[in-house]
Chain A
Amino acid sequence: MSDRYPSLAQCAVVATAFKTLLFPAYKSTDFEVHRNWLAITNSLPVREWYYENTSEWTLDYPPFFAYFEWMLSQLARLADPAMLRVYNLEYDSWQTVYFQRASVMITELVLIYALHLYVQTAPMAQKRPSQAAALSVLLSPGILIIDHIHFQYNGFLYGILILSLVLARKPSTTLASGLLFAALLCFKHIYLYLAPAYFVYLLRAYCLGPRSIFHIQFGNALKLGAGVITVFAAALGPFIYWGQIPQLLNRLFPFSRGLCHAYWAPNFWAMYSFTDRILIYVAPRLGLSINQDAVNSVTRGLVGDTSFAVLPEITPRMTFILTLLFQAIPLVKLFFDPSWTTFIGAVTLCGYASFLFGWHVHEKAILLIIIPFSLIALQDRRYLGAFRPLAVAGHVSLFPLIFTAAEFPIKTVYSIFWLVLFLLTFDRLAPASSRPRIFLLDRFSLLYIAFSIPLILYCSLIHGVVFGDKLEFLPLMFTSSYSAVGVVGSWVGFLVVYFTS
């Protein structure tokens, strides 16, 4: 108990100081996206929010996030009213930068509170590992790179997610957990990927009796149903009233985009694309036909969509079915064993399935796996074994997000600092498992982690020296293929752990 130093608050102070120093760092177009949303919500009536298209970065988050931006914009007016003009594109006065960066840091307090609650509610024997896990999330290089350099509000949103996950720990707060998750969905719809796990858990643990599934608890079901409907009504009500739902859906789910995002997220489709690239050279010997169109118009992993030269084309429907299938498998176990650990495992596996098989997955979505997983990574050493390659692969895969020279040392040194510090700490803190470990998994992950060093060196340094600006898709392809192997490997490893524990 006395050994629980440093505290979350102490680390938060130091991290905040560091993040403040990053104010002038590179910021992506997401910065302009959010500035534009501030302008839209501040200067236009609610009716026009989802129709406004002066900027190409139209509002494509659900209404709660729009309301959130509206609230921020009330303060933004005090900082610099010029940032609130819709036509003022690419506006970034220092007041705007300071205000937006500061708003990310202040809303991150939700994350700190959620992590504090997570440590508070942990059982006595788990306090120290929980503290370590909480610190690892607080100091996560993923959040640092995406929020404080690239610019987004993930700290805030994942704070709500963790809060909801932690509230699910106790029966008395399960309802609050469900409602909070419903609200989270109205902030950012990417969390829909995790919804199946919530649905099954709330159904089994809250709406059905603990002993028999035929013992339906109508009171609870009614409360949950009414609550969720209220939350959604608060978010969507005005837009239903104005009949804007089709427009909203159109903005929220743009299916016209390609299978792989601009830069391949390290998922199953990245490996698929990589195999296809290889097959272009091998296919003639095997007598396979090559789609010449795809070879010539190759997007090289840089442009919107990828089409395949040798392997069959992938449709959104196929990715949808695969995602649902791999989400459903762990949910069966959750239905029969609705414990909190299994629930978090199921949430993590839903994240895995959607990340690995989803349509147009963004590399930033890796946090959808890493963050829930962090909460149970110290359950025992087998969990940790699956977590390790994920932590390495996930963070390495975020490197291409930041490509400017000035930020290169920050992203690499910070990630290495975090990986070495927390993987060593976790290694000391994780208790041994009662079951034998899976042979080879440890060796695999060690080899895998070791391989990341030459990879980072090659992608950041050697490639530039040898090839200059040519073949710039190569480092990206290597990074995403490498990371994909790690994510898939950790997924398989975690599936085994999940089903055998």
Chain B
Amino acid sequence: MSAPSPHKPRRRVKKTTSNGSEVSSVASSSGRSGSSRPAYPLAALLWPARSSVSQWEVLPFILMAAGLARWAAGLWGYSGFQSPPMHGDYEAQRHWMEITTKLPISQWYFHDLEWWGLDYPPLTAYHSWLLGQVGSLINPAWFALHTSRALDDPTLKVYMRATVIVSEYLVFIPAAVIFVRRLSKLQGVNTWVASIALVAILMQPGTILIDHVHFQYNTVMLGLVLASMSSVLAGRFMWSCVFFVMALGFKQMALYYAPAMFAYLLGVCIIPRINIPRFLGIAIITLVSFAILFAPILLGALYDTHRGINARPELDGYFAPLPIFTQYSFKVNFRAWYYPIIQQAAQVIYRVFPFARGLFEDKVANFWCAINVIVKLRNYPAELLQRASLLLTLLSILPPCFLILVQPRKELLPLALATSAWGFFLFSFQVHEKSVLLPLMPMTVLLASKQGMNKRVRAWVGFANLLGVWTMFPLLQRVDLRIPYYVLSLLWAYLLGLPPTSFEVYKHDRNSTWLAFATKVIHGIFYTFMVVWHVAEAFLAPPNDKPDLWVVINAGVGAAGFGICYLWCLWSLTIESDLLNFSKSERRKEKSQ
């Protein structure tokens, strides 16, 4: 195609032939003739880029395409649009921008808690403050105190959507790009395959639907966790701590990862030999990060008291007991100079951790909600249930934490985080449907690992993600988001060659293992069930005495599927960690697939 002449193309196309084994996971070669073809549509779409020299040529296109999908999805409605009295997450986020920009810092966590009182950690508050300041420059009415409640100005929607995208492009996306790059370099994955994995990670339907359609800023927290994981890959443990503390400071849900992260960081300090300086460094930097994170809010409380601004003006100078450790609060001197700090810290902790709420709020696909169908949990004392929940959660996260502690290898971290997060999602209390994004994130980034785009990993990551969005369907359907749900999840399934668009991932060679067979059967059952459920939900009305029937079935089946995902992550972690003897032969078999 490049003819010898004075007008030849400026860039000579280089043919890379050293594709090696892992390209075979993407391009299934038909016969020995060497003519290969892409194994699934996403590989076909990026096919022309196979020959490109660096990933930087492809990256701008990936970023533009991901941005377009997000923005187009954002044209749909958000949660709580024109649905009084409380509206939804969108109003919550907007309201936080209103109170953080218009109220003194000491009142942020106290202001009118009935109307979306701030219940996220301080970094979210600072983020809201920044977005509120910028937004107020454009239109001050958007965040005017009191008068702006439940505002549904279309331009405000554009601004809010833009803030989600900008936040994601500043946090999650750079983190994902760097993480994929580091992991692929570490494991010798071809850059073209890494680009495919990056697209698959960025087009994950769950995060787009929840953040850009339903409305939230989860990708900021997930991005900070991913940045932390990426720092681990680079061996920068202190940076890893900083990012992880920021993630915790943005959304307390990051605690789902905390045990595994803690176990890993502890592991690298004691194995192969005890490393005291590293341990001290990690400990100190974590404490300092927390201190910096809380400094503005605590010092702000002091400063406000100094200025004569009371955190709780509605009390008219009287003092109320602290919300936590209430029985000890009379021992504290209300007039002491440090009292505002104690009061503020207690309030933040009280708001951030939902102590007084029930085991589960809505129908969510976890263990408790599923078991509730059979045994009515209402009949048991709340105390007992909380203990049981704590115990089961601890039991479920213990194996991954143990494995990562004794085998602190960086490539095991995503699996350990995913297993730990699945444990929390399934067994802890006060879980929300949207929290499924937490276990899904580290599981999805497995696509970028070695063998990540092969059939086995693709089938499982795809299964978890599609099941995950399926359990969020009732949430999305409530605000008329069926079409973006179908489009984004089917598009992702199509790109990765997953059911219901293709069954290519389950076609194995002759020497397939019993594990592959089990995968095929389990996934087959679940996918069939999801399709049948969708048909039933769309065309059949639930019986009169059980109006929630479809939602309950959804949650129950989802919980079972997530349980299997938990087991798969734990199983893979065990295999990968090489602790058991049979793992060697098993891995060799998998490679041959």
Contact = CB atoms under 8 A, between A and B. Distances in A.
B64 A20 contact: no
A417 B9 contact: no
Contact of B47 (A6, A20, A23, A417): A6
Interface of A is mostly: helix
Nearest to B501: A13
B154 A432 contact: no
Contacts of B155: 405
A79 to B, nearest CB: 14
A436 B5 CA distance: 10
A55 to B, nearest CB: 26
Interface in A411-436: 413-414, 416-417, 420-421, 425, 427-433, 436
B158 A21 contact: no
A49 B357 CA distance: 65
A98 B76 CA distance: 13
Interface stretch (B30-38, B171-179, B317-325, B360-368): B30-38
Interface stretch (B66-74, B99-107, B238-246): B66-74
A25 interface: yes
A397 to B, nearest CB: 21
Contact of B8 (A2, A13, A405, A432): A432
Scoring B44, B76, B488 by chain A CB atoms within 10 A of each residue's CB, the highest score goes to B44
Given A2-B35, A6-B47, A23-B483, A429 B41 contact: no
A5 interface: yes
Scoring B3, B9, B69, B495 by chain A CB atoms within 10 A of each residue's CB, the highest score goes to B9
A323 to B, nearest CB: 34
A3 interface: yes
Contacts of B277: none
A100 to B, nearest CB: 15
B489 to A, nearest CB: 10
A429 B67 CA distance: 28
Given A14-B45, A417-B61, A425-B48, A22 B75 contact: yes
Interface string B542-580: 000000000000000000000000000000000000000
A18 B6 CA distance: 41
A428 B491 contact: no
A13 B41 contact: yes
B483 A20 contact: yes
Given A417-B61, A427-B9, A431-B3, A18 B69 contact: yes
A406 B160 CA distance: 11
B36 to A, nearest CB: 7
B334 interface: no
B487 A21 contact: yes
Contacts of B71: 409-410, 413
Contact of A21 (B3, B8, B9, B72): B72
Contacts of B68: 18, 409-410, 413-414, 417
A25 B75 contact: yes
A128 interface: yes
B157 A406 contact: yes
B305 to A, nearest CB: 41
Given A5-B48, A20-B483, A427-B9, A421 B61 contact: yes
Contact of A428 (B5, B9, B38, B495): B9
A29 interface: no
A17 interface: yes
Sort chain A's interface into a size bin.
Answer: 35 or more
A10 B45 contact: yes
A176 B35 CA distance: 37
A5 to B, nearest CB: 4
B9 A437 contact: no
A202 to B, nearest CB: 34
A6 B41 contact: yes
Contacts of A14: 41, 45, 491, 494-495
B1 interface: yes
A81 interface: no
Contact of B60 (A5, A24, A420): A420
B3 A413 contact: no
A17 B60 contact: no
Nearest to A425: B48
Contacts of B60: 420
Interface in B1-42: 1, 3, 5-11, 13, 35-38, 41
Given A417-B65, A417-B68, 17 more contacts: A5-B37, A5-B44, A6-B41, A6-B44, A14-B491, A17-B487, A18-B68, A21-B75, A23-B75, A24-B76, A25-B72, A25-B75, A405-B158, A410-B72, A414-B68, A428-B1, A436-B6
22 contacts: A6-B44, A6-B45, A7-B44, A10-B41, A10-B44, A10-B45, A14-B491, A14-B495, A20-B487, A21-B69, A21-B76, A22-B72, A24-B76, A24-B77, A128-B1, A405-B155, A406-B157, A406-B158, A409-B71, A417-B61, A421-B61, A427-B9
A-B interface, 6 closest residue pairs, ranked by CB to CB distance from nearest:
A5-B47, A21-B72, A432-B5, A432-B7, A17-B491, A5-B44
Interface of B: 1, 3, 5-11, 13, 35-38, 41, 44-45, 47-48, 60-61, 64-65, 67-69, 71-73, 75-77, 154-155, 157-158, 161, 483-484, 487-488, 490-491, 494-495
Interface of A: 2-3, 5-7, 10-11, 13-14, 17-18, 20-25, 98, 128, 381, 405-407, 409-410, 413-414, 416-417, 420-421, 425, 427-433, 436-437
